[in-house]
Amino acid sequence: MTVNGNGKAPVLVVLQMTGGNDFMNTLVPYTSGIYYDNRKTVRIDEDRVIKINDELGFHPAAAPLKEMYDKGDVAIIQGIGYESSNRSHFRAMDIMHTAEPLTISTEGWLAKAIRDIDPEGKNVLTGVSFGRGLPRAMAAAGVRVTSVGDLDTYGLMTSVEVEADRAEAMDIFKRFYTPAIGSGATMSYLKQTGDDVLTGIDRLQEVPGQYESTVEYEDNPIAKGLRDVARTHIAGLGTRIFYVQHGGYDHHAIEMPAHENLLAELSGALRDFMDDLREHNAAEEVVIYAFTEFGRRVQDNGSGTDHGSGGGAFIIGDRVEGGLYAEYPSLDPKTYANGEDLSHTFDFRGVYATLLEQWMSVDSVDIVHGKYEQLQPFKTA
């Protein structure tokens, strides 16, 4: 098992790149004629690639990520996927969230990990998601997690000015949201959610006031999300799993400028986030896992790329042994899935098992439904 250097409990930040990131244009196989033959329009020309070896290089907009890579903080998992990759966003994302490609499951992989970390649900902040809507990955029956839209305005009945009235109302409110059995699944869930809000709210309200930093994040949704993660982590509320989302990767059309913009936002935010944590001596215990639901079609469609498979993911942190992991998906057309998609080279459930067992010290077999080959992306000393 890997141990983080400072003895603090390990923390996992899961970052969802929603829409299906174009892995080939993120880590570009710039010496491949097949790549350039298939990507007539949606391509990164060799002179723009930031090379990391004599075959591969980053998209130029991902320069901050490349700097982190050079420092050894970024493990790139090439060719992540699973058999018969699903091309529907919704099903594919569900599969990523539940680690269950064959049947519909309602239990999220991170929710199950939270159940393992905090079996009695003592801390509703063990799992915290920032952004609109709770991802399925964080949801499972009976698992209490906290979902925060905006950290800066988090609170209940804040418009009631007379403090006695607010206290009186909150007293009754607690009774409304006392978890009870027998009122239907959705009603039980609603009451549990209200109860969790009450428990978490007082502690989260303190967070913004406690935070100071010299790091100035940029103004975009993923920077804001990661800043909220940093502020909450630094406050030391016992959160072990954070979730943030970065949307917009479904580039069927006009991919070139849009993808560039997203990669710039993402890699800048990741750099600022790590700098912020380091400034607060709170980086060693944190690992980021950035993933997407699928890769994109080998051949472009003249303006963007359609849904494909064989994507890529990133594990980032001070305790990460940076480098390339698994194999870049073969560009040889004979190996394509469906005759047109990159075949995956590493099962995503093995990555989950790696993160759960080696980083979080959580048994993964029940969560990923079996035993899968793991990577060794963490420093051992």
Under the rule (CB under 8 A), what is the footprint of other proteins? 18-19, 87-91, 94, 103-104, 129, 132-134, 145-150, 154-160, 165, 168-169, 172-173, 175-178, 180, 183, 185-187, 189-191, 193-194, 196-197, 200-201, 247-248, 250, 252-253, 301-304, 306-307, 338
Distance of closest approach, residue 266 Cβ to other proteins, in angstroms = 17
- Sign of dihedral through CA atoms 74, 79, 84, 87? positive
What is the rounded CA–CA span in Å between residue 321 and residue 128?
A: 26
Q: Say if strands 74-81 and 311-316 run parallel, antiparallel, or are unpaired.
A: antiparallel
Nearer of residues 110 and 326 to other proteins, judged by Cβ: 110
Beta carbons of 269 and 220 less than 8 angstroms apart: yes
Query: Least distance in Å: CB of 58 to other proteins?
Result: 26
Between 157 and 365, CB nearer to other proteins: 157
Q: Strand (E) positions, the chain?
A: 11-17, 27-29, 50-51, 56-58, 74-81, 127-130, 146-148, 241-246, 286-292, 311-316, 323-325, 346-347
- Nearer to other proteins by Cβ, of 158 and 210: the residue is 158
What is the C-alpha to C-alpha distance for residues 35 and 25, in angstroms, rounded to an integer? Answer: 10
Specify the residue, 63 or 134, whose C-beta has the smaller distance to other proteins: 134
Q: Is 28 helix (H, G, I), strand (E, B) or coil?
A: strand
- Min dist CB 292 to other proteins, Å, is 14
How far apart are CB 352 and other proteins at their closest, in Å?
21
Please state, in angstroms and rounded to a whole number, the distance separating the CA atoms of residues 177 and 115: 22
Nearer residue to other proteins within complex by CB, 240 or 307: 307
Q: State how far the Cα of 293 lies from the Cα of 300, in Å rounded to an integer.
A: 18
Instruction: For the CB of residue 83, give the shortest distance to other proteins in the complex, in Å.
Output: 15
Cβ of residue 181: shortest distance to other proteins, in angstroms?
Answer: 11
Please provide the size of the chain in residues. 381
- In whole angstroms, the minimum distance from the beta carbon of 153 to other proteins comes to 9
CB of 95 to other proteins, least distance (A): 10
Please identify, using beta-carbon distances, which residue of 48 and 91 lies nearer to other proteins.
91
Q: Return the number of the residue (1 or 185) whose C-beta is nearest other proteins.
A: 185
Tokens read off for 373 = 């080959």
Determine contact, residues 9/240, Cβ cutoff 8 Å: yes
CA-to-CA distance for 319 and 79, rounded, in angstroms? Answer: 23
Closer of 51 and 191 to other proteins (Cβ) = 191
Measure the CA–CA gap between 87 and 105, rounded to whole angstroms: 18
Which are the contacts of 35, defined by CB distance < 8 A and separation ≥ 6?
24, 28, 29, 43, 331
CA-nearest of 299, 307, 210 to 252 is 307
Smallest separation, CB 263 to other proteins (Å): 18
Edge-first strand listing for the sheet containing 27-29: 27-29, 56-58, 50-51
Structure tokens at 175: 């009774």
Pick between residue 7 and residue 182 the one whose CB is nearest to other proteins: 182
